[in-house]
Structures are given as C-alpha cells and as structure tokens.
Chains A and B, each alone.
Chain A
C-alpha cells in the first residue's frame, strides 16, 4: 500500500540529488570570479564535515553511545588513503626523512594510468573503502573492551583511544609507512578530477559524502536502525525484546567508524596533505558541536549544521579576526544600526524562547516575596548595555572597531555554541528530519507526548 508513495519519494530524492550535483558542478566551472573561491571551499569542507557529523550522529544520536573517538578514526582513514595513493615518483621526496619509505606503488596512479579518469575514480573509490575498512577494523578491536562501558566512561575511553592512535601513527619505527610526524602530500586529491575540460573539484566531495549519507539514512530507517534507536531509548527493554546489545552496539560503532574513516580520507583529499597533529580531541569536539547544533538524532540537522559551521568558521565570521577601521562616519552609523538590530533580534529571540517554555522574569509565588529569575534579567541587562555602547560608539570620534583582532572569531563562535547548548538544546532540527516537516500532525502529537514526561 505504501509502495507507490515510496517509489515517488525515491524519484524525488534522486532528482534533488542530481540537481544539487549539477548546481555544484556549475559553480565549479563558471568563468572568472563570479563564484567566490571561499564558497567552493565551504561547500567542499562542509560536505566532508557533514559526513563525519552524520557518522557521529549515528552513534551518539541514534544508538545512544557517547563516543568521542571520531578524530582517531578520521586519522586512520586519512592515513590509509594517503599512504595508498602517493604517486611512486613522489614517494622519494615525500618520505625524504625515511629513505626507501613509501609503499612503492599507488593504487590510483596505476588504475588511472590504465583507464584514465574512470580508473582514477575506481581507484579513489577503492581506497576510500579501504580507508573506511581500516577504521572499521580498529573500531571492532577497540570495541571489544570499551563498548560495555557506560556513557561517560565510553566517551573518555574512545577519546583516549584516538590519542593513542595519534601517537602510534607518529611513531618513528612506522615512519617508512606513515612518514612519522611529517606531512604526507602529493596524493590524489579532488583537483585531479575533471570531465574533459569540466572541473569536478567540488562535485566529487558532494558525490562521495552524499552517497555515504544516503547509505546511513537507509540504514537508520531499516530494521537495524530501529534496533539502534531501541537501544538508545531503553537498553534493558531492547535486550529483553531479543536485541543482542553487544552485537548491535558493535555494529553501530563499526559503521560509524567506517564512515568517519571515509570522511577522514575525503578530508585528506580536500587538504591535499595529512599530518597526525591535526586530528586532536579538539576536532572531535568540533564535530560533536556540529551534531548538537544540528540536533542530536537528526541527519538533515547534522548536514545543515556542518555547512553553517564551516561557513561561519571559514568565511562569514572571518572579518572578526581582522582589525578594522571604518572609512567614515556614514559607515559607522550603518554599522551601529546593523549591530543594534542584531542585538534587539537576539533579545527578542531569547524572550520568545522564554515565553515558549513558560518562564517569567519575576516569579510570583503564592506566598512570600517574588523571586527574580536572574539569568534572563542579566541577559536583558547585557542587551541594554550593548545598546548604550552602540549609541556611545556612534557619538564618539573613534573609527576603529573595538574587539576585532585575531582570535575573536573563535570566541564569538564558542559563545554562540554555548548559547545553543544551554538555551536551544534541541538544535536546529531537534530529532526530526527535513523530509518529516510535512507531517505536522505527528510532530504536534509528539510534542504533547514529550510534555507529559
């Protein structure tokens, strides 16, 4: 009975996917400087981060396993990919610290030599799968002791495991393969892809990441995905209903790590170089924060949040890092007005959120003195202070924007993240998906259910 509907949906999804790829391909190939190069960077990196975020969401959001090992598995994937694809001719210079280092062959090079662009694609796909498999294999290994652990112990154990991997990769004795703590570079990247004279630099990460995310979505909506969600909601009940906890947790952990590995490889392709020191715990934290901003348990949320996150950190908030002196008084007034509007909007959003949650500034108890809800009052005070400062700034002769200098972007960024974590805990999408938005009835009921708890 649902068959027809399902078919229709799959066609629409396919159509959208093709349209996205075409648009991205166009952006890649428009002549001149119509398309800012930053946009392409954001799209590429955003797609890759979307895949890691989705892989983390599969584990944290859908299986309820709080793991912080993502950077470690990305590292494995990135290194596997890089080691396998450094061209033979460049191995001597890449591994100059370790004479005779390198594998002596390169999968992508051999295949593209034999079959051109098609061989290149085949080689890259093969290496991406291998990268994922290595990560998955290590996940299996580490899963044996740690998956039995409860939430925060699991988090710290996986975090520790990622650190161990980082140390092992840099180990001198492994140098001939991993190049120790030195850069690996020169391997096949996205820029090597083209169709005739058409560049496919941005299309490829979209293609690979999109394909992987599609598989995750299919998995989550299959009987296995439902079992994962059951484990997340209530482990004891899941086990009592015949779901083998150890097996399913391991499965989820390995799949998540597989895709983390693939995305690590994609990141390597994007950066055109790999170094172990980049895959620190901080990277995992960033991905976790993307998942949180997008909504824990929402794939589309993770994807949206990845592009927003990468866009903000690489592009839109870059200006915060530069010391800026305004040209004249007119620009200053414009700036002040925009700032004022932003501040007022933020305050309005905060008040709206309070109203939604039924909180009040001053709580009048039936008896006794009314108590003040200090948090929001303080927030309103800050808003007022910001507005006053705004006015003062317009009046003052100063043309240099205050606060803006190197590092400010990240401060603003982390403040925004804290606000999301504290006040908008559901993130952008909550645990819903873009394609579920049509089903309003159900979500309204879901809300009523959540309210009952």
Chain B
C-alpha cells in the first residue's frame, strides 16, 4: 500500500512546495494591495523561458542568478506599469489591469518563442535520480520542501525583524495610515514584488526541473492553484500560504495517483469553493468586519 502511495506523496510534497513559493507572492501582494496579481503565474513562466534562453548560451553559474535578477526586474516593472498608476482607482480596475497584464505577458511569450514548447535545461545534481524507500525520484523532489521551509524562515525573519519588514506589516494592516506615518509605500510595494518574483523564479526552477518543458501558458494553471493555496491558508498569511500549497500539491498528486487526472485541477477549485463557503478567511486569515 505505502509503496504505491509513496511516489505520489513525494511528488505531491514537491509540487506543493513549488505552489507554496508562488503562493507567497500572491499572498504578500494581496496582503498589501488587496489585489489578485493575475500576472504572477506568467512571471513564473517568464522565469522559465529566461532560464531556457540563458542556459543555452551561458554556464549555469551565470544563468541562474541572471534568471533571478531579470525575473525580479520584470515583477517590479509590472507593478510600476500596470498597478501603480491605478493606486487610487477602484479595486475592480486594478484587477482588470492585472488580467490584461497576464494576457500581454502570455501573448508576448508566444510571439517571442514562436509558441513552441521549449526544453528546460537539466540542472545537474538536483535533477539526478535518487532512491528513497524503494522509489526512484529526482533529487529536486527531496530538496524542494527543505528549500521552501528554509526560504520561508528567512522571509519570516525578514518581515519580523527588519525595518522594511515592519513597514510591510504596517502597510498590510492599514495602507493609508502607514502612508501618513511616513512609510514610503511605493518602496514597500516594490520590495514586496521583489520578494514575490524572487520566490517565483526559484519556484520556477524547481517546477520546470520536474516538468522539463516550458510553454507560454504553462504558468496559468500553477498560478491559479497557488492562488487557491493562498486563499486556503488565509490570504495575507505566509505560513498559511505554505501550508495551503503543500495540502493542495499533495491532494492533487494523490488524485492523479487514483487515476482521476481529469479532476486534479477541478478538485483544487472545488476545495477553494468549499473553503470560501465554510471559512471565507481561510485557515489562518483574520476576520474583518465592515463598519456601517
């Protein structure tokens, strides 16, 4: 029994960790801007393509940092172009802008790559096969959860202990008051996008090492699922996003294992609807009551 489940469980933990990394980006942006950054999943895909092209001409020691830097720049640029001008606009407008940005990124990638699936470079060591309890799997599967937990620990320290972290917490509690207290809100938001895009870039390396090919729309689904993970854990909460990511990854993988692959995506969204109906604030979300 266990030896049948184990490979799916391992795969689930691994993909769950990757969802978690993307979910943090969603949850942090939502925490501060109250915006579902629909373009986040596409930034994740762009990171994949940058890596494909970079690794074709440069050694990995250059292309990995380059990928991360360019992805971070793209994330900040998206914020500056598509979200900053709409700071005072109604929330619906900003969300539409996010959807438009996602559309633009997908179409641009299609144009630049010719719409063909690209082979993701093999990252030595982490793509190697290893044997765990009688199952063969790639090392990335094993590494992912540990890497995720390490990164999250650093992130939590950053938010709890540093000045910019404090500013972020203030901004997510009350955007306007934070601004009045002299916090440079634009810097805080840019920094949030830096962190989110950085984690998306790392997530994309782990994800594509497992899936091997990159296409322009491949990020849409993991993006949405990561968002579901963020909602599941309680939007705005980083531990929540991580736990949500793992839960969704594992469930999805087990469902695939049960032979219901068609429903693996549907399950995630069913879970979303159930959690929204039962506890709209998610596992670790806070209750906010509107004043009349």
Any A–B CB pair closer than 8 Å? yes
Contact in complex: B95, A164 (CB < 8 Å): no
Contact in complex: B111, A410 (CB < 8 Å): yes
Contact in complex: B262, A171 (CB < 8 Å): yes
User: 1/0 per residue B58-93: CB within 8 Å of A?
Assistant: 000000000000000000000001100110010111
Contact in complex: A155, B82 (CB < 8 Å): no
Q: Is residue A152 within 8 Å, beta carbon to beta carbon, of the partner chain?
A: yes
Contact in complex: A414, B100 (CB < 8 Å): yes
User: 1/0 per residue B277-292: CB within 8 Å of A?
Assistant: 1001000000000101
Q: How near does chain B come to A56, taking the closest CB pair, in angstroms?
A: 12
- From 248 to 292 in chain B, residues with beta carbon under 8 angstroms from any chain A beta carbon are 262-263, 265-266, 268-270, 272-274, 276-277, 280, 290, 292
CA distance A288 to B276 in the complex (A): 23
User: 1/0 per residue B210-235: CB within 8 Å of A?
Assistant: 00000001001000100110010000
Interface stretch (choices B45-53, B102-110, B124-132): B102-110
Q: Is residue B36 within 8 Å, beta carbon to beta carbon, of the partner chain?
A: yes
Q: Is residue A160 within 8 Å, beta carbon to beta carbon, of the partner chain?
A: yes
Q: Is residue B119 within 8 Å, beta carbon to beta carbon, of the partner chain?
A: no
Contact in complex: A163, B97 (CB < 8 Å): no
User: 1/0 per residue A204-219: CB within 8 Å of B?
Assistant: 0000000000000000
Contact in complex: A156, B104 (CB < 8 Å): no
Contact in complex: B82, A418 (CB < 8 Å): yes
CA distance A151 to B96 in the complex (A): 12
Contact in complex: A151, B276 (CB < 8 Å): no
Q: Is residue A425 within 8 Å, beta carbon to beta carbon, of the partner chain?
A: yes
Chain B residues near A171 (CB-CB < 8 A): 262-263
Contact in complex: A164, B111 (CB < 8 Å): no
- From 16 to 45 in chain B, residues with beta carbon under 8 angstroms from any chain A beta carbon are 34-36
Chain A residues near B82 (CB-CB < 8 A): 418, 421-422
- Nearest B-chain residue to A296, judged by Cβ: B92
- Nearest B-chain residue to A68, judged by Cβ: B99
- From 400 to 436 in chain A, residues with beta carbon under 8 angstroms from any chain B beta carbon are 405-408, 410-411, 413-415, 417-418, 421-422, 425
Given A146-B277, A413-B107, A418 and B95 contact (CB-CB distance below 8 Å): no
Contact in complex: B277, A145 (CB < 8 Å): yes
Contact in complex: A157, B91 (CB < 8 Å): no
Q: Of A164, A296, A414, A417, which one neighbours B270 at CB under 8 angstroms?
A: A164
Q: Of B85, B92, B112, which one neighbours A66 at CB under 8 angstroms?
A: B92
- From 142 to 165 in chain A, residues with beta carbon under 8 angstroms from any chain B beta carbon are 142, 145-146, 148-153, 155-157, 159-161, 163-164
Contact in complex: B262, A172 (CB < 8 Å): yes
Contact in complex: A152, B104 (CB < 8 Å): no
Q: How near does chain A come to B258, taking the closest CB pair, in angstroms?
A: 14
Q: Is residue A256 within 8 Å, beta carbon to beta carbon, of the partner chain?
A: no
Given A289-B103, A422-B97, A408 and B231 contact (CB-CB distance below 8 Å): no
- Nearest B-chain residue to A167, judged by Cβ: B266
Q: What secondary structure prevails in chain A residues at the interface with B?
A: helix
CA distance A148 to B265 in the complex (A): 24
- Nearest A-chain residue to B282, judged by Cβ: A153
Q: What secondary structure prevails in chain B residues at the interface with A?
A: helix
Q: How near does chain B come to A157, taking the closest CB pair, in angstroms?
A: 5
Q: Is residue B241 within 8 Å, beta carbon to beta carbon, of the partner chain?
A: no
Contact in complex: A411, B95 (CB < 8 Å): no
Q: Of B36, B101, B272, which one neighbours A152 at CB under 8 angstroms?
A: B36
Contact in complex: B100, A289 (CB < 8 Å): yes
Contact in complex: B276, A157 (CB < 8 Å): yes
Q: How near does chain B come to A204, taking the closest CB pair, in angstroms?
A: 31
Contact in complex: A163, B96 (CB < 8 Å): no
CA distance A94 to B262 in the complex (A): 22
Q: How near does chain B come to A245, taking the closest CB pair, in angstroms?
A: 13
CA distance A5 to B290 in the complex (A): 44
Q: Is residue A32 within 8 Å, beta carbon to beta carbon, of the partner chain?
A: no
Q: Is residue A60 within 8 Å, beta carbon to beta carbon, of the partner chain?
A: yes
- Nearest A-chain residue to B270, judged by Cβ: A164
- Nearest A-chain residue to B109, judged by Cβ: A407
Given A66-B95, A156-B36, A407-B114, A425 and B227 contact (CB-CB distance below 8 Å): no
- Nearest A-chain residue to B35, judged by Cβ: A152
Contact in complex: B97, A153 (CB < 8 Å): no
Q: How near does chain B come to A308, taking the closest CB pair, in angstroms?
A: 16
Chain A residues near B103 (CB-CB < 8 A): 282, 285, 289, 414, 417
Chain A residues near B95 (CB-CB < 8 A): 66, 151-152, 155
Q: Is residue B115 within 8 Å, beta carbon to beta carbon, of the partner chain?
A: yes
CA distance A70 to B237 in the complex (A): 30
- Nearest B-chain residue to A285, judged by Cβ: B99
Contact in complex: A288, B96 (CB < 8 Å): yes
A sample of 27 inter-chain contacts (CB < 8 A) reads A151-B95, A152-B35, A152-B36, A153-B280, A157-B276, A160-B224, A161-B273, A163-B269, A166-B266, A167-B266, A170-B262, A172-B262, A282-B103, A285-B103, A288-B99, A289-B96, A289-B99, A405-B111, A407-B107, A407-B111, A407-B112, A407-B115, A408-B111, A411-B108, A415-B104, A418-B100, A425-B93
3 closest Cβ contacts across the A-B interface? A160-B269, A145-B277, A407-B111
